[in-house]
Amino acid sequence: MTIRYRLGLLSLAVALLLPALLLSATAQAASPTATVIAQPLPPAPVRGPARAPVLIVAVGEYECQFCKRAETTLAQIRTEYGDQVRVLWRHDPLPFHLRARPVAKATLAAERQGKFWAMHDAVFANSDLSDAGLRAAAVVSGLDLQRYQVDVTDPLLDARLDAEAAQAGAVGISGTPTFFINGKRLVGAQPQPSFRREVDAAIVSAATVPDAPGDVDAARWLAHAGEDGARLYRWLVLGEPAPMPHAPVPESARSVWSLPLDPRDATQGDVDQAEVTLVLFTDFQCPFCARAVGTVRALQQKYGKSLRVVFKHNPLPFHPLARAAAMAAIAAGRQGKFWPMHDKMFDHPQELDEQHFFKWAKQLGLDIARFRREKSDAAAARQVDDDIAIAESVEARGTPTFFVNGRKIVGAQPQEVFSVVIEEEIAAAQAAHRRGLAWYEALIADGKTFDELEDVALPFDLTGLPSIGPDNAPVTVVFVTDHQCPFCARLSPTLRRLVEKFPQQVRLVIVPWMAADHPSFLPAAQAAIAAWIEGGAALFAQLDQELYAHSHELDAELVAKLAGQVGIKRQRLTDLVANGQVAAVLDRANAVAVRGEAEATPTVYVNGRAVKHATAGGVERAVTREVQHAAQHH
């Protein structure tokens, strides 16, 4: 079920987490031939009577709004059922929630003082997930602050979170929250009746199991959920290592992409001898990229001179430190130290800041003055941007993404997945008696290229919506956006630049629409529309730009302040909202988003055709192509 914004209602999910009932997770049975996660999990925190007939395992994290909502429901269930229910917590911090892991570590530090549940409750009750907010929660939870501040930096906590996240993936959990009620899976922030129905069924089932000495919970999970329940009990409750099923070679690796290399790329391996070129797009702040480093090293050791590794940058916009890290690595590379700097960054992911960049540069013996100059120069920025554009051209939308002789493998896959593809490519090279750069270029010469636009052009009624550029422009770009969305903030300057580059050919139409739980969407959208009503394109553009510049800190008060700075007084803004003019524009915007079946922001349409992946490079290529097409048919 796709839930979209309606005026006055909050959207329930971003597109990445929106399936039926807020989230979908597919349980996968373990294969008899499987790779096993190496370490068992430590005991998890549990609350409730030890002999309660129902054990609920909650797998979640603390930045997820659905987990917070579900925690309220779970508290109601515990109150209603009393000594019949107890709850066990397992961590699964999602990588795109930047505070999820630090908060999870704070609760683990509290666990060492016997205060896990106090900290758990304090964190969910507190909207401030900053380090200062966590310290305040620690005080409320009665922790020894000095000990807490030492424990929270312990790398063993990261190791535990990695193990729990791997275990969650192995049992088929693809998002949070996910619950197991005596072994039966319940996915998402379900309403209380859904929990009550499952708990009641588990109580009935548990009554058939004799309350004998020993691990009666294991017997209850077996009785209620069969062999799947028994396995889940061993993995999630007892913490036994779960088997990770062998993943088949993904369909994406069945075809070859046209992925040219660049002399600026950092490489390892013999360019003339390698039969296989492994290109990786990565992000120094991405935990999955860090996990993949070990896999790549193992592959290099296994295949030796047959494998060449090529590094390309793809810093994701929601990783605020990734771009600076990429530029620092490029600067180190100009002095022959890219790979040592690469290792420093991935070995110390919590230290990606200017202080540590320079510390590592000194340790590596770099010319510091040159490093300082080159890590901020235009050439480094251009190299990062060029890599991002290449990533977009081959649909490498996330990190890490790998290409084995042009064959795509997405994510931190097991080594076996890479080995199957690499060995196929080695066999092909040996059969052809080819190797090196010339062989790679021959393989990708006829590779896939990416068409940025969908085939179908949708008719939109854009009457009355904010726009920049002439109404009769041959190319109309519709930008479905949210001022609190970091991806929209990143894309907006590109769209402005295109309007400036093609002043007579491009019209940009703004469609404010909320696809995520962004509390400041509405005041920001109202202010931007008020600017459009009051001063047309010029005033709208001025305020629109300011709102994006402050997207990470927007609240109603700041929005009103920014509106005032461009000349819209607070009372006038209030009047425009109250008299219905702003609401009418929002209604029209919502109708456009619904007509276009937008599911997330940003969504972009060029002459009615949706841009498949609304990134800066993809949108620029699509718009430029449409401008050229219009000129040819004028």
C-alpha angle 465-529-534 in degrees, rounded to nearest 5: 100
Residue 108 lies in a domain: yes
**Are 153 and 22 found together in one domain?**
yes
Tokens of 385: 């941007």
Are residues 189 and 110 part of one domain?
yes
Domain check: are 143 and 45 in the same one?
yes
199 shares a domain with 274: no
Structure tokens at 132: 């200062």
Residue 453 CA to residue 475 CA, distance in Å, equals 14
* 350 assigned to some structural domain: no
What is the extent of the structural domain holding 271? 251-330+382-444
Residues contacting residue 392 through CB under 8 Å, at least 6 positions apart: 450, 613, 615, 616, 617, 618
Q: What is the pLDDT of residues 545-585, one digit of tens each?
A: 999 999 989 999 999 999 999 999 999 999 999 999 999 99
- State pLDDT tens for residues 360-393: 999 999 999 999 999 999 999 999 999 998 998 8
| Token output for 490 | 């990143």
**HSE-CB of 562 using CA atoms within 13 angstroms:** 29
Same domain, 19 and 153: yes
Task: Summarize the confidence of residues 324-350 as an average pLDDT.
Answer: 95
| Mean per-residue pLDDT, 498-505 | 96
Top-confidence residue, 128 or 632 = 128
Long-range contacts of 102-107 (CB under 8 A, 24+ apart): 102/129, 102/131, 102/134, 102/152, 103/61, 103/62, 103/63, 103/129, 103/134, 104/61, 104/62, 104/161, 105/152, 105/157, 105/158, 105/161, 106/134, 106/137, 106/138, 106/148, 106/152, 107/62
pTM of the predicted structure, to 2 decimals: 0.49
* Gap between the Cα atoms of 196 and 186, Å rounded: 11
CATH number at residue 101: 3.40.30.10
Query: Do 193 and 269 fall within a single domain?
Result: no
Residue 109, amino acid: A
| Helix (H) or strand (E) run with residue 46 in it | strand 46-47
Tell me if 72 is assigned to some domain. Answer: yes
Q: What is the pLDDT of residues 403-437, one digit of tens each?
A: 999 999 998 887 888 988 999 999 999 999 999 99
Residues 237 and 261 in one domain: no
Highest mean pLDDT among 206-215, 390-399, 545-554: 545-554
Q: How far apart (Å, rounded) are the C-alpha atoms in residues 434 and 439?
A: 6
Q: Which two tokens stand for residue 391?
A: 């990533």
Can you give the three-state secondary structure of 582-607, one letter per residue?
HHHHHHHHHHHHHHCCCCCCCEEEEC
Q: Distance of CA 467 to CAs 471, 502, 507, Å?
A: 8, 15, 7
- Tokens 């510049």 sit at which residue? 549
Within a 10 A sphere around the Cβ of 500, how many other Cβ atoms?
Answer: 11
d(CA 262, CA 130): 40
Q: How many domains does the chain have?
A: 3
**Residue 511: strand, helix, or coil:** strand
373 inside domain:
no
Give dist(CA 535, CA 148) in Å, integer: 54
Asked if residue 109 and residue 168 are part of one domain, the reply reads yes
Of 245, 279, 307, which residue is a domain's last?
A: 245
Please tell me the predicted confidence (pLDDT) of residue 395.
Answer: 84
Which residue, of 444, 470, 495, is where some domain finishes? 444
Q: Of the candidates 395, 417, 444, which is a domain's last residue?
A: 444
Same domain, 440 and 524: no
